[in-house]
Chain A
Amino acid sequence: MLRFLASRLGTAVLVLFVLTIVVFVLARIIPTDPAVVYAGPKAPPEELARIREKLGFDQPLILQYFQYLGGLVTGDWGNSLATKRPVLDEFATRLPATLELLFAAMSIAIVVGIGLGVIAAKRPGKTLDGVIRFLAIGGVSMPAFWLGLLLQVLFVGQLKLLPATGQFSNEVDYVSPITAVTGFPLFDSLITGNWVAYSDGLAHLVLPAITLAAYPMGLIARMTRASMLEVLGQDYVFTANAYGLRDGLIRWKLALKNALPPTMTIIGLAAAYALTGTFFIEVVFNWPGIGQFAANAMIAVDYPAIMAITLLGAAGYLIANFVVDLVQARLDPRVRLS
């Protein structure tokens, strides 16, 4: 286990290191002037020169890279050129909102995706299977921003059931302000018994979480269905049926456990993919997370922010895969962490 951890950690550090080089070079070969991003396009040449000197953009690129690398290690990831604040502060402010959205979306995707996959595998080729496959393909193929807008039109514009945007209503700040405990606002409202804020936050969470869940849900449903069909054809299922075990027990316990490992792999990748999926969804729903910050950073060519976001995304993928490996080893005794 220790060997596995050390190996994974070593690989992760190497991947992140190579990534810093690639992203740094890519961000800096784009013909833009970081001083212009910092000061705005109408700043006079003298001011731009002052900023280049102040922020070290007048140094050779290789020196800038090593300074950046040194900063990464010491916890100074640089300041956003657009907001002037430390990038890590920006993350600390915004990450909780994104993680709450991601958690909600992945919970929906896993529960609904696995459920639909198992149900679809019960009678392959029948109507219900067709409907579920249609939903799964729809979830995978429909662009998230489009789905988000459609849901807003339906649930906000037509049915007037849910709020359109934001994480909480503006009123919450005045009526029942949230007391920060962990920094995760919805969770904090729950543990402090702030039901006004909690119910308001839940209502705001529904549409963006469903939108973000659509892609991983489709993926998980398809993979679960395929795995279940394979497992259900195996001898031990036949034997279990011959013993007269209940159909539900066979499907939801005996077969599903063996069908899950491939699904777990997909869940890990889907979770990491969903992290980058928040870029679109947070813009559509005005969700105050890092996705919106990332979208703005890319448009502005705010390269310290872009680099940090890329590293975070990569770290997300690595962590997700690592967790999947651990869970797979737990589910399938044949898998060894070495």
Chain B
Amino acid sequence: MAVTRMRSPRSLSALTLGSIGVLVLAGCTVGGANNDEEAGASVLSVAASAAVTTWDPVRSFSTEALYLGNVYEPLIWKNAAGADEEFRPGIAESWESSEDGLTWTFTIREGATFHDGESVDAEAVKSSIEAAKDHAGASFIWAPLESIEAPDETTVVMHLAYSAPMDLVAASTYGAWIVSPKALEASADDESYFEQGIDAGTGPYSVKSYTPGEKVVLEAYDEYWNDSAAPSYDIVDISITPDAVTAQQMLTAGEVDLATNLPLENVDTVAADLDATVKTTNSPFNFLAFFNTAKAPLDDPKVRQALSLAIPYDDIIDVGGAGYGTQSRGPVPKGIFPYSDDVPQYSQDLEQAKALLEEAGHADGLDLTLSFSSENSAEARFVPLIKDAFAKIGVNLEVRAELFNQQWENGKADPATAQDIFVLYYWPTYSDAGADNLYSLFHSSEEPFFNLSYWNNPEYDELIDEAGTLTGSDRDAAQAKYEEAMNLLVDQAPAAFLYDAQAVSVVPKGIEVADFNENYPFTTFFAPIKPAN
């Protein structure tokens, strides 16, 4: 797509990738865009896999985060791992918490406006958060919030029922966007108010048009409060392209400047074709395989450890992730709190695995079933490697490919008749994998939801519960507790922790991008993208 005029160059802040973890930026060919209505407007053309399941910023809980992250802003943003500061201001200029972590005060910036013309103030923030707590897709992130008040136009005070990391919550990609109160009122009367592509955010872009299933066009918001992060491109024209191979064709044919979803195995080829460089960073996505601890033989930790020792981790990364991944250290993705390099890993040792199986009384081998999500191409590629490796220690694995919804329903049914091994692709809802991954995946529960190993370990539960209450007031102490819990997880092996997927960017010459921010899954931030000098 042609670009005729760039907006004034701005600073670069972040570039994020979607679930498959690949973002490719191709040359933004300059010249040729004649624009009837917007003469001289610069256009960035994008192929994105992200579907829009809703335009409602409160209810949003899916891949539309790609678009909403450019249109809305939270109170604060979480920076990518390794940045000087953990957070940066959004709608809030500054924030502080009481020592006990029970009171959080946010100072709202003056001068920001919503795209519908309303002013941003403390009351608007209050009503957004109240709406999120009431009916957001991710409303549970606000569970600690007991009350919220707006004592003046620029101050919002949150009172919590128990200590919680409201900085992490307020920076969430789901359930934390600040929305115009006028639109919130309209959507209270009509739940489908937003669905035609109406937006009511404060972000650098607004929604210009939306053709369902086909196209989203974003337009730079001229009144955006943050001059230093204003977009370089006037228009971002996004073709919704679910198929990765099609996106690759569009990119290499020069039909788009950028693609958010490419086949991982073709990244090197595409990069070579476009004379581009490949960048890899952390992503929030990882793969794990739950062992069914509710029935024999996987109720025996020795068997689970043996299987964990039989898995060919390096091969799985090479085949499943085309080499773009790192072996997991527990269920917390690299770069997300409370990840730790000190958590131990298993490495493939078939002799030791066999010995453990013998010790557990299974010298004659085992028959097990494994389910995986058929629409996940990485899982489809690496699961046969697990089957082959298990065969070498006498474990016969029956593999079932099921649509994820079907796999999950079967997994949540009676554990006594459920699969033995459940392969899951997961990411935290917000940047607290202690409250999400460690709690949701392994804390005991009456009915299985995402704890699909059906594991029930009081010692683990206690550690997680303690750490959860410490995160808001003493993050170092919480980290220590979480690490203890992760060590226990690896030792007891209710799951095998396969690999953390990496985000991959193919960046051609002539384009400047920042590193992917693993705190915002599915989101590609367009404002920082600009032509290289």
Contacts and interface: CB of A to CB of B under 8 A. Distances in A.
A16 interface: no
Nearest to A34: B405
Interface stretch (B99-107, B250-258, B355-363): B250-258
B30 to A, nearest CB: 14
A285 B139 contact: no
A45 B412 CA distance: 12
Contacts of B404: 41
Interface in A276-312: 283-286, 288, 292-293, 295-296, 299-301
B245 to A, nearest CB: 7
B33 A174 contact: yes
Contacts of B214: 93, 288
Contacts of A170: 1, 43, 45, 237, 239, 255-256
B254 to A, nearest CB: 9
A85 B137 contact: no
B449 A39 contact: no
A177 interface: yes
Contacts of A43: 61, 137
B contacts with A: majority SS: loop
B409 interface: yes
B408 A36 contact: yes
B85 interface: no
A32 B246 contact: no
Contact of B246 (A42, A89, A175, A285): A285
Contact of A32 (B38, B52, B255, B409): B409
Given A42-B61, A174-B43, A32 B245 contact: no
Interface in B96-116: none
A90 B255 contact: no
A169 B195 CA distance: 25
Contacts of B34: 174-175
A315 interface: no
Given A93-B211, A169-B255, A283 B52 contact: no
A292 B403 contact: no
A47 interface: yes
Contacts of B33: 171, 174-175
A82 interface: yes
A90 B246 contact: no
Nearest to B32: A171
B530 to A, nearest CB: 19
A32 B406 contact: yes
A94 interface: yes
A164 B406 contact: no
Chain B CB within 10 A, most for which of A41, A149, A157, A283 = A41
A163 interface: yes
B406 A39 contact: no
A199 interface: no
Interface in B199-231: 211-215, 217
A124 interface: no
Given A36-B405, A299-B375, A42 B429 contact: yes
Interface residues of A, number: 51
Contacts of B137: 39-40, 42-43, 47
Contact of A286 (B32, B217, B241, B252): B241
Contacts of A299: 375, 403
Given A163-B255, A174-B36, A292-B213, A82 B237 contact: no
A84 B54 contact: yes
A153 to B, nearest CB: 9
Interface in B31-65: 32-38, 41, 43, 45, 47, 51-54, 61-62
A83 interface: yes
A176 interface: yes
Given A156-B249, A286-B246, A84 B195 contact: yes
A31 interface: yes
Contacts of A233: none
Contact of A30 (B1, B37, B255, B406): B406
A42 B428 CA distance: 9
A60 interface: no
B249 A177 contact: no
A333 interface: no
A44 interface: yes
A75 B191 CA distance: 21
A173 interface: yes
B249 A165 contact: yes
A285 B242 CA distance: 11
A301 B406 contact: yes
Interface string A11-48: 00000000000000000001111001101111111010
B14 to A, nearest CB: 23
A171 B1 contact: yes
B15 interface: no
10 contacts: A36-B405, A36-B408, A83-B53, A84-B54, A84-B195, A156-B249, A165-B253, A165-B255, A174-B37, A177-B36
